[in-house]
Structure 1
Amino acid sequence: MRDWIRWGSSEFSRRALYFGHGTDNPWDEAALLVMWALQQPWPSLERIYDTRLSTDERHTIFALFRERITTRKPAAYLTGEAWFCGMSFEVTEDVLVPRSPIAELIQAGFEPWLSVYPARILDLCTGSGCIGLACAAAFAEAEVDISDISPLATTLAEKNAQHHGLQARVNVIEADLFSSELFAGKVYDLIVSNPPYVDAKDLASMPEEYHREPVLGLQAGDDGLDIVRKILSQASDYLSEDGLLVVEVGNSWAALEEAYPHVEFFWPEFENGGHGVFILTAQAVRDIVSAEKRF
């Protein structure tokens, strides 16, 4: 098995594949595909490195490697599975591959920024449901709403909620941000979102692997802030008094600070990589809305 991973890694490097959808190097990408082909859990990799492969297994692995190279599809689309916060999620080409650095905040319980235990949590632009469902697993007593504009995404998110046995506490909503009447009268202690935030220039220059993902989940206007502006202008109506807003904006962080020069966004640093996630208190979000009304 080790030799197949080594060969796959070399081929991926030689063909200049891009890695940014769950792995960040060719060795891990090859290993992920091999482990999936063998139907083995990722944590057992080190233990079975020297396993001898059957002819059928070698054929399966070769076919996966070839498809990864020729289609440039991220590995998760080939396997139909991605890992996030230690949880397995079904993924299709209708949603982005889970990879947000928000995972690190979830695993830390959003400390030290979250001042209350979140009784109700909202995940906007949920895609596969990974962020909201990971929050539901982390906060076992919380009620969680997960929302997306895409019916294909909400269908998949429902499946993932059922897979993890979280459907009793997780409500899936099909809506354009807060547009659904199902949000009427609700307030949340935590609103978290990984919305589309890629600007036009970045989108045009992204590696092929990103162009295998749904553009609906990526593009957000010339400066990447089309959706984020809406969230900032609407979220105050749905945040509790001590609520927290956490939003990923990636490379559009500079455009955000330029657009809101008087707002003190907090940008946490991540030990496991990633950047461009801001945190705002409910009061800070309300201040943004108040300032917009004055002008």
Structure 2
Amino acid sequence: MALPFTTVRDLLRFGISRFNEAGLSFGHGSTNAYDEAAYLILHTLHLPLDTLDPFLDARLLDHEIDAIMKVIERRARERIPAAYITQEAWMHGRRFYVDERVIVPRSFIGELLQDGLQPYVADPDHVTRVLELCTGSGCLAIFAVQAFENADVDAVDISTDALAVARRNVDDYGLGERVSLHEGDLYAPLSPARCEVIVTNPPYVNAKAMQALPEEYKHEPELALAGGADGMDVVRRIVREAGKWLTEDGVLVVEIGNERPNVEAALGGLDLVWLSTSAGDDNVFLIQAADLPA
């Protein structure tokens, strides 16, 4: 039986209703059912993602309606993040390839890199080397190259699969000569050298929070999310060793989501600077090299 849908407006209304009915969780690029439905419809129709209104009353072909319905139902029934369905994620106007081998990129460090981490990095033009730990899809390494025009970036991940995705993104942006990808456990695969900036969005979700994650997040690699009992297993190691890799005036920037209380309990006594982002002042901290453990 033919569905009573003919226009983009019809499918948009249905998608919103279907997502709300299914009780979906958002946070992988969209924050609500309207934006998610609009994105999936526009992507499926190969239309500009920022231009919905002119197409709302466009009459759709049967095969277009069928394709959109399949996408809406897959999102609602399987609760797969939209980014895995479209195999793309957007951050600050830049597109990145993603699939289930990496978490969907959504780091607040990306917005901090837009200003070259100023004022904590006095002159972005003087930065010659950046290290990114737990690179995943490679998006922060790419942002770092664009923020620090005279810097090369070393990006590390323990996952072979994640590095394959990162390689694709680095190559898509033509940055293979400036971004070096390394497979290994944090600092282990690196040759001794000093850098002015270390950035990282490591696994930081505590064990209790892992158990309560919405289904959408359970499609992401657990390795990239789970941070142990208090979420700080990897964070502690990063902070403990960072001083060996930073210049005297270098900075370490770490994203920790909603784990500020656990960070302060684990790193008590260190001079942490909490950075302001669009999510507030509790998601990213910075430590100056001089304040790191000896």
Measured against the shorter chain, the TM-score band is: over 0.9
Kindly provide the CA deviation profile for residues 198-250 of structure 1, in whole angstroms up to 9, marking residues without a partner as x: 00000001111111111000101100000000000111111112111110111
Work out which of the residue numbers 187, 195, 201 in structure 2 matches 1:194.
Answer: 201
Q: Which residue of 1 aligns with 2:146?
A: 137
Moved more, 276-285 or 16-25: 276-285
Matched, 1:225 2:232: yes
114, 119, 139: which one aligns with 1:107: 114
1:57 and 1:103 map into 2 onto residues whose CA distance is 35
Q: Name the CA distance, whole Å, in 1 between partners of 2:182 and 2:49.
A: 32
1:138-173 CA deviation, whole Å, 9 max, x = no partner? 333221111100001111101101111111211111
Asked if structure 1 preserves the Cα contact closer than 8 Å seen for 2:156 and 2:181, the reply is yes
Q: How many Å apart are 1:137 and its aligned residue?
A: 2.3
Residue 137 of structure 2 is matched in structure 1 by 128
Partners of 2:91 and 2:182 in 1: CA distance: 21
| Pairing partner for 2:251 from 238, 244, 253 | 244
Question: SS where residue 113 of structure 1 aligns?
Answer: coil
The change in CA–CA distance for 1:130 and 1:273 in structure 2 (over 3 A counts) is: farther
| Counterparts in 2 of 1:178 and 1:12: CA distance versus 1, 3 Å | same
Question: What are the Cα deviations for residues 29-83 of structure 1, in whole angstroms up to 9, with x where unaligned?
Answer: 1111112101233233344344332221111110000000111110001111101
List runs of 5+ in structure 2 lacking aligned partners. 1-7
Shift of 1:115: 1.9
Which of the numbers 205, 208, 218 marks the counterpart of 2:212?
205
One-letter code aligned to 1:103: G
Of 54, 65, 85, 1:78 maps to: 85
CA offset digits 1:112-159 (Å, max 9, x no partner): 221232211111101010111122123332211111000011111011
The equivalent of 1:293 in structure 2 is none
Instruction: Give the secondary-structure state (helix, strand or coil) at the position aligned to 2:18.
Output: helix
Q: Which runs of 5+ in 1 are unaligned?
A: 291-295
- Whether the 8 Å CA contact 2:107–2:201 is kept in 1: the answer is yes
| Greater CA drift, 98-107 or 213-222 | 98-107
Aligned match of 1:267 in 271, 274, 285? 274
* Matched length: 285
Contact 1:149 1:174 in 2 (8 A): yes
The 2-side partners of 1:47 and 1:162 are apart by: 34
The alpha-carbon distance between structure 1 residues 116 and 12, as it changes in their structure 2 partners (threshold 3 A), is: same
Give the CA RMSD over aligned residues: 1.5
Change in CA separation of 1:272 and 1:202 when aligned onto 2, cut-off 3 Å:
closer
SS of 1:251's partner is coil
- Within-5 A mapping of 1:2-151: 2-117=9-124, 118-151=127-160
Distance 1:6 1:272, change over 3 A: farther
Q: Alpha carbons of 1:256 and 1:274: their partners in 2 closer, same or farther (altered >3 Å)?
A: closer
Q: SS state of the match for residue 275, structure 2? A: coil
Q: Which amino acid in structure 2 is aligned with residue 74 of structure 1?
A: P
Q: Tell me the amino acid that sits aligned with residue 17 of structure 2.
A: S
Q: So what's the TM-score if we normalise by structure 2?
A: 0.92
Structure number with higher helix proportion: 1
Aligned equivalents of 2:219, 2:245: Cα separation in 1:
34
The aligned residue for residue 185 of structure 1 is 192
2:3 equivalent in structure 1? none
The structure 2 residue matched to 1:256, chosen from 244, 263, 287, is 263
Decide whether the 8 Å contact of 1:148 with 1:173 is kept in 2: yes
Percentage of identical aligned residues: 42
Which amino acid in 1 is paired with 2:252?
A: L
With over 3 angstroms needed to count, the CA separation of the structure-2 counterparts of 1:166 and 1:249, relative to structure 1, is: same
TM-score normalised to structure 1 length? 0.92
